[in-house]
């Protein structure tokens, strides 16, 4: 008996759902799976520590200013080692650089555990460890971000970035929730740092299993000249420059993380874990229905709208005194943040040649990781000088205005088409696609 075909409308709905669902084709590449596993494990532990450190500082000082000061101590080494580490990543084996810099970060986690077990109770010791941790993190991130375009086919880079951010958001959800539970226990700080140390060990093993990834382009220096060469490359591209500028505005002016301990203690009377997790929950939900992201051509406009949506949701969250509503708005902000993050990373990775990608990723690390820390300093200082509401919502409204004005003023960014370069002659030659799209064996080196 011949089966009855499905109605055309049902087939159309199914096709649209598949097109909207997350693109999982990069999973076929073994090296990419290892990167993803290592990233996921390390981010869960990292987020546990990123929640624990400010809570511990606040428990010692009872001051949002010191919580914000941790942002400054993390920001300076991220700038220095993000830029310099990116130059080094263009010169040496990226796998080896990622492994050694990750070992530095793991050692800091062990030191955080030790200072808790020894009852040091020193905010300045914590700030110093945050600085060293920032240096290791920035160098590892510069190398790791430059690895992805080398291990997946060119056409799968947007999908690989979306998967990376989605898995990262799972870590950013699980980490704060785990921290929220552990910090309620006796000796909770020690449990939290111990969990981070175990998870980071799994990340180190995943990095160790990667194939060697030596530089593919012409040899470059690793000194200050190479750093400035990368900065000049960005300065000559309005598209890259604006993609970084809108992200700086979003993170510095609209990032409320440093205010969460005070808000949980004085406004919401609890909920520290869910506040830190809410943005990542929104990003995860957006990632699960992100198949449409790679099909958008006007990525400059899409990036602008995503950042405006992020800052608007943050602004509204700062006005509410109901925890559930603040969390819901932060979830919406997180969905917008996932979209903007994928477009920023994809524009960067597809615009630059391989011999520049380490330095470009170094700048990306400075902006993405350093921006929130600078935002922590801004938020903590504003909260101490004014009120929690002004520090949370006031500058987020300014972010909306600046991003809209900037996008309207920079025409190449506003007209940027992912499938057609509107400024011929300024873009470097594209990196050739890998010679094959078949999955590589674990022992086969990336080309």
Structural domain includes residue 445: no
pLDDT tens string 135-174 = 888 788 777 777 777 888 877 777 787 788 778 777 777 8
Q: What is the pLDDT of residue 52?
A: 92
* 355 band by pLDDT with thresholds 50, 70 and 90: low
Same domain for 230 and 194, yes or no, is no
Q: What is the pLDDT of residue 414?
A: 79
Give me the number of domains the chain comprises. Answer: 2
Same domain for 298 and 180, yes or no, is no
Tallying the residues shown for the chain, one arrives at 447
The answer to whether 252 and 374 have CB atoms below 8 angstroms apart is yes
Same domain for 194 and 286, yes or no, is no
In angstroms, the CA 80 to CA 347 distance is 23
Mean pLDDT score across all residues of the chain: 78
Phi, psi of 327 (to 5 degrees): -65, -40
Whichever domain contains 280, its CATH number is 1.20.1250.20
In angstroms, the CA 121 to CA 129 distance is 13
Same domain for 38 and 179, yes or no, is yes
Same domain for 185 and 244, yes or no, is no
Same domain for 203 and 281, yes or no, is no
The answer to whether 410 and 238 have CB atoms below 8 angstroms apart is yes
Could you tell me the end-to-end alpha-carbon distance of the chain, in angstroms, rounded to an integer?
52
The pTM score is: 0.63
- Residues whose CB falls within 8 Å of the CB of residue 168, separated by 6 or more in sequence, listed in order: 39, 40, 43, 280
Q: For residue 316, give its domain range.
A: 223-418
CA angle 404, 346, 440 (to 5 degrees): 170
Q: What is the pLDDT of residue 292?
A: 67
Q: What percent of the chain is predicted at pLDDT more than 70?
A: 80
Phi, psi of 89 (to 5 degrees): -65, -25
Same domain for 37 and 158, yes or no, is yes
Q: Which residue has 């509107």 as its token pair?
A: 422
For 420, the 3-state DSSP assignment is strand
């Amino acid at each position: 008996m011949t089966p009855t075909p499905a109605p055309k409308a049902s087939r159309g709905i199914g096709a649209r759902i598949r097109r909207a669902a997350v693109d999982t084709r990069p999973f076929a590449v073994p090296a990419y799976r290892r990167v993803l596993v290592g990233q996921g494990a390390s981010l869960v532990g990292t987020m546990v520590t990123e929640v624990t450190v400010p809570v511990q500082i606040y428990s010692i000082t009872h001051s949002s200013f010191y919580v914000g000061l941790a942002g400054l101590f993390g920001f300076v080494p991220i700038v220095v080692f993000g830029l310099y580490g990116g130059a080094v990543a263009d010169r040496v084996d990226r796998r080896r650089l990622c492994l050694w810099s990750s070992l530095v970060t793991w050692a800091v986690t062990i030191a955080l555990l030790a200072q808790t077990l020894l009852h040091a109770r020193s905010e300045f010791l914590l700030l110093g460890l945050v600085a060293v941790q920032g240096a290791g993190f920035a160098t590892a991130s510069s190398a790791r971000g430059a690895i992805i375009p080398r291990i997946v086919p060119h056409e799968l880079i947007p999908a690989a970035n979306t998967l990376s951010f989605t898995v990262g958001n799972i870590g950013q959800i699980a980490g704060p929730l785990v921290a929220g539970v552990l910090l309620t226990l006796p000796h909770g700080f020690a449990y939290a740092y111990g969990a981070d140390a175990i998870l980071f060990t799994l990340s180190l093993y995943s990095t160790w299993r990667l194939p060697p990834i030596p530089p593919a382009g012409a040899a470059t220096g690793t000194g200050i000249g190479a750093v400035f060469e990368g900065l000049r490359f960005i300065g000559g591209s309005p598209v890259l420059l604006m993609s970084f500028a809108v992200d700086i505005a979003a993170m510095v002016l609209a990032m409320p993380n440093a205010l969460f301990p005070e808000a949980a203690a004085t406004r919401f009377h609890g909920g520290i874990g869910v506040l830190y997790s809410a943005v990542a929950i929104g990003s995860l939900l957006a990632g699960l229905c992100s198949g449409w992201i790679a099909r958008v051509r006007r990525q400059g406009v899409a990036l602008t709208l995503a950042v405006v949506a992020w800052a608007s949701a943050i602004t509204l969250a700062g006005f509410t005194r109901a925890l559930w509503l603040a969390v819901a708005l932060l979830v919406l902000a997180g969905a917008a943040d996932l979209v903007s993050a994928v477009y920023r990373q994809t524009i960067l990775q597809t615009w630059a040649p391989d011999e520049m990608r380490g330095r470009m990723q170094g700048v990306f690390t400075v902006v993405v990781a350093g921006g929130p820390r600078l935002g922590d300093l801004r938020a903590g200082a504003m909260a101490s000088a004014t009120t929690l509401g002004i520090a949370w919502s006031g500058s987020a409204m300014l972010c909306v205005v600046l991003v809209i004005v900037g996008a309207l003023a920079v025409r190449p960014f506003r007209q940027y088409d992912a499938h057609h370069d509107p400024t011929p002659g300024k873009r470097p030659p594209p990196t050739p696609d890998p010679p094959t799209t078949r999955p590589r064996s674990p022992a086969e080196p990336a080309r």
